[in-house]
Amino acid sequence: MTPCAAFLPPTSAPLTPRRTTRPTCSPHGRARPRTQTRAKLGASLSDGLAAHANALITRAKEDIALLHNNISKLPDASIALLTALALLASTPAYAEIPATAPGPGLYDDASIVQKGNEELFKNAAASIERNTGLHVRFVMTKSIPFGDTPSEYAAELFGQWALSDDDILFVASPKLARAGAAVGAHAAELLTPAIADSICNETYSLKAGDERYGAAILDVSNRLIPVLGGKDDPGPPDMSAREVIQNFKTKEETSKGRNKYVVVVGAILVIAFVAPLVQTFWYIKDD
């Protein structure tokens, strides 16, 4: 077995220790070539970022060119079909309102009123028709067309269905806590515009604001029966008895929240851009 180096016999000539070259150090014990290392590191970092950015730009140009070539190869019919599908997907779904007027009572296109309340309103409308000859309809639609108020949409449906002077039409949507009304000339002798407006914006809105749509519609019928029967108007409910809690922010609250988010996002962007620059400057500041 070969002996270890520690047990080798002594040689005639003394062993000469190996001389190593140590880098010249600063008084603090750090090697002086550190500045050159930092410069090289900063240069390589900058080169790497530039190369990555150029690669991203080149890839984006290639993708755009590929997309352009693929679209140009499509026939005109395919392009028209894709355009039509995109428009169809972006078009909001409006309520499915029948072409002809439904019978007196409640037409619940939104399917949010309980059947029991629907039957009660239908019975009230039948009672009004039997006693006065006036036809009352309440349409609960999924949504009001964009740009229209409930009253404008009620007037539009009134004309579309060719309703008569003896007809009364209320329109509401679960997205709004108020209704709209269109009243025929004969019915308006009893249901005046002021009373109709009060029913839409006070009687109905009180419980519709709590999403109690069935109860709100029954309140409307309970007020219509005496009014259309020639009796005194019981008036709107006591709005002061209920504290109306808004479920949306005011303009000031929205502006304040937006300013806060702008500051936070701005600070993040500043940190994201400034921190790498400061770090790079720290590495190359001794050059």
Query: Which pLDDT tens digit goes with each residue over 135-145?
Result: 999 999 998 99
Q: What is the pLDDT of residues 9-55, one digit of tens each?
A: 454 445 455 554 455 444 444 444 555 566 666 666 667 677 777 77
Question: Residues 88-93: what's their mean pLDDT?
Answer: 44
Is the pLDDT at 88 greater than 70? The verdict is no
Which is more confidently placed, 14 or 265?
A: 265
Residue 68 has pLDDT above 90, yes or no: no
Q: Across all residues in the chain, what is the average pLDDT?
A: 77
> Which pTM value belongs to this model?
0.54
Q: Residue range 264-273: average pLDDT?
A: 79
Lowest mean pLDDT among 104-113, 116-125, 238-247, 271-280: 238-247
Q: Clarify whether residues 168 and 80 are in a common domain.
A: no
Mean pLDDT along residues 251-280: 73
pLDDT-derived band at 227, boundaries 50, 70, 90: very high
Same domain, 183 and 80: no
Q: Confirm whether 265 is domain-assigned.
A: no
CB burial of residue 189 (10 Å; 0-12, 13-18, 19+): exposed
Residue 93 lies in a domain: no
Band (91; pLDDT cuts 50, 70, 90): very low
Q: Quick one: 139 and 71 in the same domain?
A: no
Number of domain units in the chain: 2
pLDDT in tens, 159-197: 999 999 999 999 999 888 899 999 999 999 999 999 999
Q: How many helices (H) and strands (E) does the chain have?
A: 8, 4
Domain span holding position 132: 105-241
Rounded to 5 degrees, φ, ψ at 48 are -65, -45
pLDDT computed for residue 85 by the predictor: 53
Q: For residues 110 and 58, what is the distance between their CA atoms, to the nearest angstrom?
A: 52
User: Positive or negative CA dihedral for 128, 129, 135, 140?
Assistant: positive
Residues 233, 128, single domain; the answer is yes
Q: Is 262 inside a domain boundary?
A: no
Judge if 196 and 72 occupy the same domain: no
How far apart CA 180 and CA 171 sit, in angstroms, is: 5
Asked if 145 and 232 sit in the same domain, the reply is yes
CATH number, residue 112: 3.10.310.50
pLDDT band at 263 (very low <50, low <70, confident <90, very high): confident
**pLDDT of res. 6:** 44
In a domain, 94, yes or no: no
Tell whether 249 is covered by a domain.
no
Cα gap 256→258, rounded to integer Å: 5
Say if residue 210 is in the same domain as residue 143: yes
**Do 116 and 217 sit in the same domain of this protein?**
yes
pLDDT number for residue 37: 61
- Closest by CA to 180, choosing from 238, 220, 210, is 220
- Lowest-confidence segment of 32-36, 138-142, 146-150, 276-280 by average pLDDT: 32-36
The domain boundary, picked from 224, 241, 258, lies at 241
Average pLDDT over residues 53-79: 69
- Determine the pLDDT at residue 246: 46
What pLDDT does 276 receive?
79
> Does 58 share its domain with 118?
no
One domain for residues 111 and 237: yes
In a domain, 210, yes or no: yes
159 plus 53 within the same structural domain: no
d(C-alpha 222, C-alpha 241), whole Å: 19
Residue 215 counted as domain residue:
yes
Query: What is the structure's pLDDT at 252?
Result: 65
Domain termination residue (choose one: 241, 257, 275): 241
76: left (phi over 0), alpha (psi -120 to 50) or beta: alpha
Residue 132 sits in the same domain as residue 191? yes
Per the domain annotation, does 287 fall within a domain? Answer: no
More confident residue, 278 or 189: 189
